[in-house]
Amino acid sequence: MCEQDNPTRRERILVAGVGNRLMGDDGFGPRVIDLLSDQSLPVNVELRDVGTASLSIALDLSDYDFVIFMDSMEMEGEPGQISRLEVDVEDVHDDVGEPAGGMLHELGLGELLKISKAIGTLPPRVILVGCKPGDIRPGTKMTAAVERAAHRAADMVLEILGLKDE
């Protein structure tokens, strides 16, 4: 576990799943929230399925010290590949990845971070956990590779929170 991981119990932490459950692998973020909801988490950790309404949480972000976003993201590699990116909140205008759902989301995560920074609600620590989708066509079933990735991502979140050894 990294020294920067293992947030204190006093930090207010949001774990947010972004995505559209009706568009196959774009439901990755909400699926990770489902998996984590079965875990016993500290009272300072809030799980939230934000669906595709990412703009609506921009104001809420001021309530947190640390946020972990999960979403399907276009990236190199095979479907189901996971990437973890610690965002430098001083430099959020850099490319932080675009959600695979594109127009399905009210905003991409990059835009949400920019708006949150502009209005002063961006927490001091932000981590993005992205998964390369295989299929984002209409349908409620994710591909097997992305379903497996959702389980790995849930474990990754527990590791970040200091609740599971790597």
* Percent of the chain with pLDDT strictly greater than 90: 61
Q: What is the pTM of this model?
A: 0.84
Instruction: Judge whether 3 lies within some domain.
Output: no
Domain range holding 96? Answer: 13-160
* 116 in Cβ contact with 56 (< 8 Å): no
Tell me which amino acid residue 27 is. G
Instruction: Judge whether 127 lies within some domain.
Output: yes
Q: How many CA atoms lie within 13 A of 92 on its CB side?
A: 22
Label residue 38 exposed, middle or buried (CB < 10 Å: 0-12, 13-18, 19+). Answer: exposed
Instruction: Judge whether 165 lies within some domain.
Output: no
Q: What is the pLDDT of residues 47-85, one digit of tens each?
A: 999 887 667 788 899 999 999 999 999 889 999 999 999
For 56, other C-beta atoms within 10 Å of its C-beta total 13
Q: For the CA atoms of 6, 41, 123, 17, what is the dihedral angle to 10 degrees?
A: 120
Tokens of 118: 């502009």
Top pLDDT among 7 and 50 is at: 50
Residue 101 scores a pLDDT above 50: no
**Which residues are within 8 A (CB) of 102 and not within 5 positions of it... i.e. 6 or more apart?**
108
In angstroms, rounded to a whole number, what is the distance separating the alpha carbons of residues 81 and 126? 20
Instruction: Judge whether 48 lies within some domain.
Output: yes
Q: Which residue in the block uniquely carries the two structure tokens 């079965």?
A: 38
In angstroms, rounded to a whole number, what is the distance separating the alpha carbons of residues 103 and 13? 28
Top pLDDT among 123 and 108 is at: 123
Name the least confident of 7-11, 28-32, 59-63, 85-89: 7-11
Instruction: Judge whether 22 lies within some domain.
Output: yes
In angstroms, rounded to a whole number, what is the distance separating the alpha carbons of residues 149 and 155? 10
Q: What is the pLDDT of residues 147-160, one digit of tens each?
A: 999 999 999 999 99
Instruction: Judge whether 7 lies within some domain.
Output: no
Q: How many CA atoms lie within 13 A of 80 on its CB side?
A: 10
**Predicted pLDDT of residue 90:** 81
Instruction: Judge whether 5 lies within some domain.
Output: no
Top pLDDT among 24 and 114 is at: 24
- Domain count across the chain: 1
CATH number, domain of 143, equals 3.40.50.1450
Residue 106 scores a pLDDT above 50: yes
Question: Quick one: angle between helices 28-36 and 144-160, nearest 10?
Answer: 50
Instruction: Judge whether 24 lies within some domain.
Output: yes
* Percent of the chain with pLDDT strictly greater than 70: 84
Q: Which residue in the block uniquely carries the two structure tokens 């640390």?
A: 66
Name the least confident of 8-22, 88-102, 126-140, 151-165: 88-102
**Predicted pLDDT of residue 93:** 61
**Predicted pLDDT of residue 54:** 65
